[in-house]
Chain A
Amino acid sequence: MDTLPYYLIQGLCYGAIIALIALGYSLVYGIIKLINFAHGEFYMVGAYAGFGVYALLPAGLSPWLAIPAVLAVSGTAGAAIAGGAEYVAYRPIRKSGRLAALLTAIGVSFLLQSVFSLVKDAQPLQYPAGPGSVGALCQHPVPVGADGIMAVNFAYVPAALVLGLGLWWIVMRTRFGRAMRALSQDPDAAALMGVNVNAVVRRTFLLGGFLAGVAGSLIAFQNIISPTMGFLPGLKAFIAAVIGGIGSVPGALIGGFAVGLLDYLVVWAGVPTGYRDLAAFVVLILVLVIRPQGLLGRRESEKV
């Protein structure tokens, strides 16, 4: 019983990462109805880019300076790869129907995984954890009950809340956000109002890619980096976005935390770890059956 706080905290922290990925998933779906299965790969690319720039930083640099630099680069790389994918792969087929878009997204996902398999022959990478390093700072155990939780975890929830609420502010309060919402409701009408649809879609991908890229490095500070690291978190973020109500910013945050907590609570409850990933999918199916629009989503009505 006394292990519950440990699992709750771990679940929330993991949930924060899922939420960061889910935000971009949800945003992109919200405006162009694309299920971007490559979104988890933007997270992977962010982690690789952050690690790459870390290797270039001077050896003795304080981790307090290195971490922000790494995060900035990962976010930028995530945004760049998302923007690139939008321009090269998604824009040309945007009017070709949802199936074409979905298949393209799966193709982009495979492509990015394959390309990044060329980095060090796909061997997993890890931040060094020697004294005074980023790894040592981030992986320093903080005692919780009889267990320890790595220090970096405690940055996840604040990061997800600050970035998520910032994104919500952009969507609800800025001219750009208004254009996004108009575009999601009626792209042609938005264009007639003077909204440059291509530009808004591009910027939405950039925002989503940025959040995923940042999440990639946040995880990489304590975990291995590999070409397939984005697959499962990407799927879980998709589930989170659906649970929260795809297209909704607060929904993606809530869904992310819900999926993260679920993941750890089933382990706490004694489900063998091999089956832990099953829980999220079971909940996904339940949500799709009982409340397909998700917690905060709106029921979609087919236009006549």
Chain B
Amino acid sequence: MLELADVSVTYGAVEALRGVSMRVAAGEVVALLGANGAGKSSLLRAISRLVPLAGGAINFEGRSLARVAAHELAGMGLAHCPEGRRIFPDLTVEENLDLGGYSVGSADALARGRERACRLFPVLAERRRQKGGTLSGGEQQMLAVARAMMIAPKLLMLDEPSLGLAPKLIGQIFDTVRRINREEGVTVLLVEQNANEALLHSDRAYILEQGRIVLAGTSEELRRDERVRKAYLGV
């Protein structure tokens, strides 16, 4: 579904990504792990066309993204739930959701999207008319995921959905990611610092260090890998 070949990204003189190659197949949950500053968010932003490539190629469903603009991706079925939630604080929950479905043509599809959002996160239905900025951190994260789900994406990219959440909510978010994958049939690319949870809830994983993929494998293999256990799992 998604293929990256030798992707490089630079910010001025700083190399954020150096020759990253990876793939995500349909139906998978793939985790991308790494420390702060390893380049995880840059990778998602490169896929979403928010930062230009210094080299390499990205294909989504066999189509090169080289000439695709950021705003066209939603229409192609690629949703990106960015780091730090980035909900629109002055828009109501409902307006936030409607923006998530901005590229959806029909009112019908929009209504179905809202239904799906409220099925995944019932609390959003209660908060419908509240401004996004007045929600709690956990609710904002739910809104961010629900907003990305409005287009019924083929591929959902989640950037640190567990960041800053209470342990109980972290479990809930990862369960929802699983449900989105199994029940809605959405392929997921999950960026996380929380390697423990991410490896438990994914099929495969890549580990990024200083802009390079240093390890790749099934999540089960990586959970047993000595280096991973030391560096990322804290055991």
Contacts and interface: CB of A to CB of B under 8 A. Distances in A.
A185 B87 CA distance: 9
B48 A192 contact: yes
A contact patch SS: helix
Given A181-B90, A182-B88, A193 B50 contact: no
A261 B141 CA distance: 47
A192 to B, nearest CB: 5
Contacts of A249: none
B89 A193 contact: no
B102 A189 contact: no
Interface residues of B, number: 26
B75 A194 contact: yes
Interface in A167-200: 175, 178-179, 181-182, 185-186, 188-197
Contact of A189 (B69, B82, B95, B98): B82
A178 to B, nearest CB: 6
B40 interface: no
A191 B70 contact: yes
Interface in A281-302: 298
B179 interface: no
B71 A178 contact: no
Given A178-B98, A181-B90, A186-B88, A192 B82 contact: yes
A194 B71 contact: yes
Contacts of B98: 175, 178
B91 A185 contact: yes
Interface in B46-103: 48, 50, 69-75, 79-80, 82, 86-91, 95, 98-100, 102-103
20 contacts: A178-B98, A178-B99, A179-B99, A182-B91, A185-B89, A185-B90, A188-B86, A189-B86, A189-B88, A190-B88, A190-B99, A192-B50, A192-B79, A193-B74, A193-B99, A193-B103, A194-B71, A194-B74, A194-B102, A196-B71
